[in-house]
Amino acid sequence: MIKNKSKEKLAMFLSSFLLSDEESQEKQQTPTFKPEAAEEDTIGGIDLAMAVTGWSAATIYSKTAPSSSSTIPVMALSRKHLRFSKKALIHWMQNGGDKRKEGK
């Protein structure tokens, strides 16, 4: 009789770790958050900068000039080939990058 109680306890203990078929399927379908994916950056041209800022190409180009009071973060491959980092643009905008709006 002692052996039967031990077997029952063991069975109950093990069953607490097993998932039903529905639960296991649900768990497999639930997307998991991957921190490394959140840290990925996108590098692109003027189209990326326009999409992130909502500004026209002319406005963005004017903000790439060194004389601009709010120089936008840009990587210049040449005078005609500019690259923008999505993360850098978002960070710049969140930290008040466009000073001309404030009249500074």
Tell me the whole-structure pTM to 2 decimals.
Answer: 0.54
Q: In tens digits, what is the pLDDT along the chain, a chain of 104 residues? A: 456 777 777 777 666 666 555 565 555 565 554 555 556 788 999 999 999 999 999 999 888 887 777 788 998 887 778 999 999 999 998 888 765 444 43
CA quadruple 46, 49, 51, 56: dihedral, nearest 10: -70
